[in-house]
């Protein structure tokens, strides 16, 4: 099923990747456009290319590391056009070969009951245990997760061809993590290449999005992405689905371990239609509590230890 926020998420990730893989096509922008910091001359095309090649290397390292980190995702959904909250859920994400295992922590500000959380931990332990002795259903889940990685990689390759990239100066942005100071970042503008021919329906999203990407030069990492949906995105001529123009997407990435940058914020403001039914994705996801848990076996040991601690702390009957 096509989901509006999933389309938006793919667009954000692929836009950023398009910058990394489209390095050879980046070009400086005239100083009159964009807020450029005085005293920072435009880099040459060769310098831009060198920077973005380093960003590619960094991203490959980040992607490999992602499946070793657990984290907490706090998702708040609100009604279109106002701040009335529809749902407010925090979940703990534990990585596994078949995709993240999600353990609900709170809903609308209320923690889940200890008994429910214990059940979630037991489910997680069972799922992680299957990684060593997978049945056919688990193997199918692993295959689907691997295909998702493959499809994303394919979109990254397509993004390299889909955008014209322009260097737009350097900006100082406030820190996205409390306690950190402001950062000076290099800004690039991404505009659809009118000569690009999409290879599949998801790749067509690139033709409808204009984006700005901010890069930390010292660490060669993407720090911030903003994407605007400039024109309607249609699937099968608009019969199956349509994402309306006027929406926008934001993503932040931060250093969560030495040399590893992962997403810490997603914001979606997207409306559309699936068949005859309207949908909307107006959400903010804050991602915190990153902890490297390692292999599935190491994650299993961690979950089992938590269960043992709960048993030890439970009052005797």
For residue 189, being part of any structural domain is answered with yes
Give the Cα separation of 210 and 293 in Å (integer). Answer: 37
pLDDT at 317: 58
Contact of 185 with 215, CB cutoff 8 Å: yes
Query: Look-up: residue for tokens 């529809």?
Result: 86
For residue 129, being part of any structural domain is answered with no
For residue 53, being part of any structural domain is answered with yes
Give the Cα separation of 205 and 243 in Å (integer). Answer: 9
How many domains does the chain divide into? 1
Domain of residue 76 covers 4-30+44-97+147-293
Give the Cα separation of 72 and 100 in Å (integer). Answer: 11
Give the Cα separation of 314 and 284 in Å (integer). Answer: 36
> Which residues are paired to 222 by β-bridges?
215
For residue 299, being part of any structural domain is answered with no
Whole-model pTM? Answer: 0.83
> Per the structure block, which two tokens stand in for 87?
């749902």
For residue 280, being part of any structural domain is answered with yes
Contact of 190 with 181, CB cutoff 8 Å: no
Contact of 14 with 213, CB cutoff 8 Å: no
For residue 75, being part of any structural domain is answered with yes
Tens-level pLDDT at each residue, the chain (317 residues): 334 455 555 555 555 444 444 433 444 554 333 444 444 677 888 888 788 778 777 877 887 888 899 999 999 999 887 788 999 999 999 999 999 999 999 999 999 999 999 999 999 999 999 988 899 999 999 999 988 877 877 776 777 678 888 889 999 887 777 777 788 899 989 899 999 988 887 788 888 889 998 999 999 998 999 999 888 887 766 566 788 888 889 999 999 999 999 999 999 888 888 777 787 788 999 999 999 998 999 999 999 999 999 888 777 65
For residue 242, being part of any structural domain is answered with yes
Under DSSP, is residue 44 helix (H, G, I), strand (E, B) or coil? coil
pLDDT at 89: 97
DSSP 68: T
For residue 137, being part of any structural domain is answered with no
Give the Cα separation of 57 and 62 in Å (integer). Answer: 9
């Amino acid at each position: 099923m096509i989901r509006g926020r999933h389309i938006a998420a793919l667009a954000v990730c692929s836009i950023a990747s398009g910058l990394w893989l489209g390095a050879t096509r980046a070009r400086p922008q005239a100083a009159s456009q964009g807020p450029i910091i005085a005293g920072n001359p435009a880099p040459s095309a060769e310098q831009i290319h060198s920077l973005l090649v380093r960003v590619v290397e960094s991203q490959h390292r980040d992607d490999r590391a992602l499946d070793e980190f657990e984290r907490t995702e706090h998702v708040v959904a609100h009604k279109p056009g106002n701040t009335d909250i529809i749902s407010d859920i925090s979940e703990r994400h534990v990585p596994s070969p078949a995709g993240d295992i999600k353990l609900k922590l709170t809903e609308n500000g209320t923690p889940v009951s200890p008994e429910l959380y214990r059940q979630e931990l037991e489910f997680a332990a069972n799922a992680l245990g299957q990684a060593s002795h997978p049945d056919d259903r688990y193997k199918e889940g692993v295959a689907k997760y691997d295909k998702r990685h493959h499809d994303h990689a394919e979109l990254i390759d397509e993004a390299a061809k889909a955008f014209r990239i322009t260097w737009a100066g350097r900006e100082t942005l406030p820190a996205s993590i409390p306690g950190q100071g402001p950062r000076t970042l290099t800004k690039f503008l991404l505009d659809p290449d009118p000569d690009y021919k999409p290879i599949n329906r998801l790749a067509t999203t690139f033709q409808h999005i204009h984006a700005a990407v901010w890069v930390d030069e010292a660490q060669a990492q993407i720090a911030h992405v903003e994407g605007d949906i400039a024109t309607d995105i249609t699937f099968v001529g608009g019969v199956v689905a349509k994402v309306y123009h006027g929406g926008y997407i934001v993503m932040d990435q931060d250093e969560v371990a030495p040399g590893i940058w992962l997403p810490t914020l997603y914001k979606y403001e997207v409306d559309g239609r699936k068949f005859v039914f309207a949908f909307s994705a107006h959400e903010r996801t804050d991602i915190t509590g990153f902890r490297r848990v390692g292999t599935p076996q190491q994650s299993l040991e961690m979950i089992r230890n938590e269960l043992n601690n709960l048993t030890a702390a439970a009052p005797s009957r």
